[in-house]
Amino acid sequence: MRPENLQVIGSELAIRWSDGAESFLPLELMRRHCPCASCAGEKDIFGNVYKGHAKALTPAALQIRELLPVGGYAVQPVWRDGHNTGLYTFEQLRRLAAMNEAAS
């Protein structure tokens, strides 16, 4: 499953998928589920998770300045607060969209 079109519209990421489905993903939900090592943490060989310090999310932290493609499997948002290390796979975007739809 691949996105055919990605657009930031207001406070959401609009996604048109290759199967014809459309998703509207709140940017705040994306940011709160950032997959980078600083935000989500990373495990050592013993299973211990290490994360960066939690930061308060400012309004700039919830706005995307640029959305960069990464190969044929992910996108990398550049947030207005400068954060840019999270790679969101297409699979993760689809899961977040499903989670958002289920919560609605």
Spell out the domain ranges in the chain: 3-103
For the segment 6-17, the average pLDDT, to the nearest whole number, is: 97
Determine the 3-state secondary structure of 8 from DSSP.
Answer: strand
Residue 79 has pLDDT above 80, yes or no: yes
Q: Which two tokens stand for residue 3?
A: 């996105």
Can you name the CATH fold of 3-103? NE0471 N-terminal domain-like (3.30.2020)
Please, what is the Cα angle at 25 between 17 and 80, to 5 degrees? 115
pTM for this one? 0.89
> Closest by alpha carbon to 32, among 90, 88, 101?
88
pLDDT at 51: 82
